[in-house]
């Protein structure tokens, strides 16, 4: 009889801790500031120019080789050059 009571007690303690931790996690996530990814118009224009510039060459390469999709080339260029802002990406122009 004692083992059943101790098993129930352990289960209740575990369940209580689980509820407590879940509640703390929900409380913290509800208080996190909302992030916005809005960019101003000038930044959007700069990004659009970068995509057009890279995109033309990416399309030509894909038409000749049919290996890597232009969207993947553009995405990789954005990642590696931070939208063309890195020093080494500017040197290659």
Dihedral sign (CA 40, 41, 47, 50): negative
Give the pLDDT score at 90: 54
Separation in Å, CA 21 to CA 18, 29, 55, 80 = 5, 12, 48, 40
Give the pLDDT score at 63: 93
Model confidence pLDDT, tens digit, residues 57-83:
999 999 998 899 999 999 999 999 988
More confident site: 59 or 24: 59
Q: How much is the pTM?
A: 0.51
Give the pLDDT score at 48: 94
- What share of the chain has pLDDT > 90, as a percent? 34
């Amino acid at each position: 009889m004692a083992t059943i009571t101790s098993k129930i007690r352990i289960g209740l303690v575990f369940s209580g801790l689980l509820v407590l931790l879940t509640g703390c996690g929900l409380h913290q996530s509800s208080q996190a500031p909302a992030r916005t990814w809005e960019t101003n118009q000038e930044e959007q224009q700069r990004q659009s120019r970068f995509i057009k510039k890279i995109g033309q060459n990416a399309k030509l390469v894909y038409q000749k080789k049919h290996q890597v999709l232009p969207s993947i080339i553009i995405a990789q260029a954005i990642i590696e050059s931070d939208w063309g802002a890195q020093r080494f990406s500017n040197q290659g122009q």
